[in-house]
Amino acid sequence: MTHPVLTALGLTDTPSGTYLGNGEWASTSDAGMLEPINPTDGEVLARVPASSQADYDKIVERAQAAFKVWRTTPAPRRGEAVRLCADALRTHKDALGSLVALEMGKSKPEGDGEVQEMIDIGEFAVGLSRQLYGLTMHSERPGHRMYEQWQPLGIVGVISAFNFPVAVWAWNALVAAACGDIVIWKPSPKTPLSAIASIKICNEALRKGGFPDIFFLFNGSDNDAGTELAQNFVDDKRIGLISFTGSTKVGRHVGERVARRLGRSLLELGGNNAMIVDASADLKLAIPAIVFGAVGTAGQRCTSTRRVFIHESIHDDVLAKLVAAYKQVEGKIGDPTDPANLMGPLNSADAVQAYLAAIEKAKAAGGKIETGGAAIDPDTGEARPWIFGPPLDGSEGVRRLPVGQWIGWWGLPGPWQQAVGPMQFLPATFAAWAIDRDEDGMTNVVIWRDLAERQRRVLLESRLLAVEGRLECQHGVMHLIAKRLDNLTPLLGTLETRSRDFH
């Protein structure tokens, strides 16, 4: 019997996993079969035929033909097409959000939020379609005029991961569409249904609006043939850019292969992310940020919080509050479509086994499990989030534990200047090595209350991959984000100005 969520989106329990363009879905049945499951109970949701090499070749051929038409379509007109897609996604937000929660395992509010991200990026791309500006420059040659105009890149390939099964595609596809590109999507084999539904929603909106096909879809199976098809996609010189979201290990491989053919790649990879909590931090802000950062999406985000470095003066208080918050979450783990639950399951039984192995690895390194650390049901993806405190030895095994809603905590000696700012003053501690030199950190965060000189020095000298400062003041909360930069002097000037304004 077809699940009601699939029915609401016009899908059957045996949908085609390949959109060939021209309104045609492939009927291939001999290239393997995907069986996406509901990670809450292990139920198979549908059987999705994988794509064949012939399917893929037809997709690329039709995408090339579509590009010749789409690139000549005026950019504001392309923006109108994207607007129709965003409107259609808004209409189907509830059902698509439910499917994301059902198939991936994240909570219903997170599933809805992911669809909202699709809508938001669509609205951004609509505006972008009228802002593809170029420069006009003076030429050194008499009687000449120089100007630049941005041109479409061609076919953009998107390879997305299971943890954000629809939003990552939209971030790429809707912007690419506004810029005049055609998009071919290969989703995770764990979440093909969410991808199929998204393609159906957007392409039907385009068709009703009188627009051609600009989004194509193929699904590789979990077997060797599926892996080979994905690799052919990465190696295909006809694909102007490959956008890959997934692990750092695989992303490095993708980047190298695309570079080998002088193609372009856009990589969004895994993170081993940390938060530093200063003695001045507002714990009403810090505790929810840490907990949601760690247990949201059951800890399966590239931006999930993995490690917390706490100033020693507040260490005991922060740890106690974190443990209490985790215990509240433990009582509300289960079916992600149930609004009473706060956290859904890990996406697969393999992820649960990796979670259990990580706990043993942390214990072996001398870690103390403060709370959680057990599978609720080994046969499904449900597991308790956990907190542990390993020794400050920078253990490679502990540093690279897999996903799974865990936080490792470290109490840092004070004062702050000696402990974490500048980072290089900590040659013997895990903190300096783990944050400032960690090659796969992604969203490291510092939380503080004021912007005194010591915090500005942290920004300048620690070179964190991403630093977020929050200044509590009568005017509200100020957010400051700095991407990895060798010189943050311009930002410091801004901070000094804002600091004077607020004080």
Q: Burial level of 276, CB count in 10 A (0-12/13-18/19+)? A: buried
CA distances from 384 to 188, 359, 376, 387 (A): 25, 11, 7, 10
Question: Which one of the listed residues 114, 268, 330, 382 is annotated catalytic?
Answer: 268
Q: What is the arrangement of strands in the sheet containing 182-186, beginning at the earlier edge strand?
A: 24-25, 19-21, 215-217, 182-186, 155-159, 241-245, 264-268
Question: Which one of the listed residues 85, 179, 202, 302 is annotated catalytic?
Answer: 302
Residue type, 162: F
CA distances from 452 to 171, 313, 322, 473, 496 (A): 37, 18, 27, 14, 9
Q: Kindly report the backbone phi and psi dihedral angles of residue 19, in degrees, each rounded to the nearest multiple of 5, phi listed first.
A: -100, 115
Residues with Cβ within 8 Å of 392's Cβ and at least 6 positions away in sequence, in order, are 410, 429, 430, 431
CA 374 to CA 386: how far, in whole Å?
Answer: 8
Q: How many CA atoms are closer than 13 Å to the CA of 349, on its beta-carbon side?
A: 9
CA 63 to CA 339: how far, in whole Å?
Answer: 41
Phi-psi label, residue 40: left if phi above 0, alpha if psi -120 to 50, beta otherwise: alpha
Q: DSSP alpha helices (H): ranges in 266-348?
A: 283-295, 315-330
Give me 204's structure tokens. 């039907």
Report, in angstroms and rounded to the nearest whole number, the Rg of the chain calculated over CA atoms: 24
Active site residue 302: yes
Task: Tell me which DSSP letter residue 211 carries.
Answer: P
CA 180 to CA 69: how far, in whole Å?
Answer: 9
Residues listed for the chain: 503
CA distances from 234 to 175, 228, 230, 254 (A): 20, 10, 6, 7
Active site residue 268: yes
CA 306 to CA 301: how far, in whole Å?
Answer: 10
For the annotated catalytic residues, the residue numbers are 268, 302
